[in-house]
Structure 1
């Protein structure tokens, strides 16, 4: 059924009502609901895969780099369920007091974690986001309104139905998870202006989608990450480690935001190491685009343009630049990155610490692949997105990022004298 403007308002009202109930649930009630969701996902694997096949047939002309995000398999559904179960065993952020103290007037002041309320999600052809978002918002006591891309509509509808049925069966508000089934841009735009009902809007997808939401929404937005991620091979890097990390970061899943898009290499080791790294990448089908110095060492590279340094390819393409110093590498990264994930490969402790401190990104690595920037890998069970901004949340966003604070103050008749 298509969603009209009136329907969005009704969905917002229903979500607010559901959020009020979720905020009163015990941790045990939420965990039981999550475990039931995980079981139901596995139980309905066949139905979900059949719906996914409908989407895949309609997306036959979609580039393979984007189709990879859309495809569901038994293993991927099992991974979704595992993520939901991991969320269930995590600490409930709303069941804790951050700190408490007594002020000069004898007031007991407690800083408590509370849900944000109603979370909106606008995302592209990534059905896993439907489940990740539902699990994290439910555990943190929030309701969620989901608007996925048209390419994944059947998959998202199947997943949302499974989750809503679980909630209803367990006497929980099924409106805690709602899916906008009208995928027209004008409906997404209406969601961006649902200020009376949404407490926050989280876009998740490519740079174009995120930019549009950030610029157009009147609802508060958490900006999540397009990933123009870099790996810098320092003058004191182990070649075997560099090859393994660069290949993993670029090749394992090139369509995702934590895949490496750029390779910077110190001039002192470029003649020795770059041909080996380039050969390993090319053997995996990676197209290399180098600056003049890189192409002088590996002539098979295409020439990089100015646009390349700012491009998130989401494909088996990587731009390569030779730099004269770590300072030059850091300056280039900070000028061109999207504040997502950056890595240095080095055996020099001082260089590693300088990189950690000076690179402006949500996640900075020493001697590890950027592919680890992920809520599941960080132990969050799942993620609702990877924030590349600095206010409220940054990096992979798990349960804590979906809460805010409330001060509860207990007195015994105090009045302020001045």
Structure 2
């Protein structure tokens, strides 16, 4: 780069090319989540071609040939790096002899290219090893996630349901947030919760809560009894500083939902007209696992819920997501902007806006579950009408 300062007429094209190449590379890395498209493998050769073109046009840019193998470390395997290094060395020798570069200076340049090639080859081998380990970790994590967070059907009883989940540990794709929707003889029941902490201990606590919930939801006719069984199980198995915030919802009688809020963020009620209201708990209860310390028992909250109404449950990874100016994501306003009759479309738009708000990467696990009343209780939804032209 020091030689560039002595060739002002060639400095601008090279800088423009470098900045555009770097921007394109960053975009590809973000869009493909670390997986390279095949065309990126020839990028080192294109860089070498540009250096040769600029050199032939009137400047001596031989040190920039080292950019070829250096870039190949990020786009190719060790063989690709070696090939780019040999090509760069050959081109450097040919151009150096053509320009009459002193032998000592040419030897230094070629030695630098070879040294960069060796270092880049090692870096490429280490990158490939890390990618293989990461792929194995992702495979195990995805299997655990499928077992823990079972897929939610689009329709459950009289409801449409949609879920969006993002783990802060994107490499593992699993975290401490939890959700479940269970149709039972006592009506549809669902839970959204957030385990204190992160990593494997949080996943273990989440699996415990979901296991007890799925079992109790079928057995217990009373929603408070479901919450009580989860509380007793956590009291036996969690540490003294561990707890789980959760909202448990049940649909037992026509036109109403039963809500039990255990220290969790208040759900958002979206009316059929599109009005968004936070459902603050009338009788606040401590998080699950802390009832013995707080001495407060949860109580039922009855929520009117008519056809067309929607209920959004979420975790604090959504409302505590900050942008570069440290401003929180306005969830209620975002829901009001994107609400529709299709819960999956609504959550997709809100989730995309959330990621844009934080710049593409969440720093905490985030779960969104949207429930929409599509029909009256006991009513079978009408099939789409089909007209046939004869």
Q: Which is greater in Rg? A: 2
Q: By the TM > 0.5 criterion, same fold?
A: no
Higher relative contact order (CA 8 A, sep 6+): 1
**If the TM-score is normalised by the length of the shorter chain, which range does it land in?**
under 0.3
Give the TM-score taking structure 1 as reference length: 0.21
- Structure 2 length normalisation: TM-score? 0.23
